[in-house]
Amino acid sequence: MSRDAEPINFTHHFLIAMPGLQDPSFAGSVVYMCEHSAQGALGLVINKPTDINLKNLFEKVDLPLGREELATEPVLQGGPVQTERGFVLHEAVHAVDGEPGESVYASTMTIPGGLEMTTSKDVLEAIATGAGPRKVLITLGYSAWGEGQLESEIAENSWLTVCADPAVIFDTPIEKRYEKALLLLGLQSWMLSPGAGHA
């Protein structure tokens, strides 16, 4: 195997499902990539709402929701793995005296690009008191790929990739995130061929 090529790293990128991708978990999806290494990849689908909103979620975990503006925000289907577990994607929040890059929450993955993904309840407890990160997206479950699997799917033309823009995650209505992610590539969905060999 050639050692010359730098490994491809899609951390802090969007994966945009091509029309030919029929897997029900991923058809029509935009996945925000939290981590990508030689061992595999982990991401969260950012455009598939569940029928649970944040008010319902907070009631389920016995916490008040101290931020009224979040009450009707839907919880998203982050992917098919650990669908009973919550994942919170949010802008980085650091302790006042904390070292740069040190999150104030436990169980947090810091993602280059100014975002963090937290799986511990303390971030929900902060939101419950009216504090916590200003911009949040909460999913149930996540998406995972084994070693080399994501690279194979990209080679098979299942996904387009583009560097992520947090505005698509936090400031764009869910139903418009697919189109907005495509626009980062200068594309619109009608330009994508649903099958190979068709213009």
Range of the structural domain that residue 159 is part of = 13-191
Query: Would you call 56 helix, strand, or coil by DSSP?
Result: helix
Dump the DSSP string for 144-186. Answer: EE-TTHHHHHHHTT-EEEEE--HHHHHSS-GGGHHHHHHHTTT
Mean pLDDT of 103-122: 90
**Looking at the domain assignment, is residue 76 inside a domain?**
yes
Q: At a CB cut-off of 8 Å and minimum separation 6, what does 197 contact?
A: none
Query: Would you call 54 helix, strand, or coil by DSSP?
Result: helix
Mean pLDDT of 189-194: 84
Query: Would you call 112 helix, strand, or coil by DSSP?
Result: coil
Domains in the chain: how many in total?
Answer: 1
Tokens 């619109």 belong to which residue?
Answer: 188
**Looking at the domain assignment, is residue 148 inside a domain?**
yes
Amino acid (one-letter) located at 118? T
Q: What is each CA distance from 83 to 25, 107, 141, 183, in whole angstroms?
A: 12, 18, 4, 30
**Looking at the domain assignment, is residue 1 inside a domain?**
no
pLDDT tens string 121-150: 999 999 999 988 999 999 999 999 999 999
Write down the pTM of the prediction: 0.90
pLDDT tops 50 at residue 198:
no
Helix or strand holding residue 182 (H, E)? helix 177-183
Number of C-beta neighbours around residue 184 at 10 A:
17
Q: At a CB cut-off of 8 Å and minimum separation 6, what does 176 contact?
A: none
**Looking at the domain assignment, is residue 66 inside a domain?**
yes
CA 188 – CA 199 distance, rounded (Å)? 14
Q: What's the confidence (pLDDT) of residue 40?
A: 94
**Looking at the domain assignment, is residue 196 inside a domain?**
no
**Looking at the domain assignment, is residue 197 inside a domain?**
no
Q: What is the CATH number of the domain that holds 180?
A: 3.40.1740.10
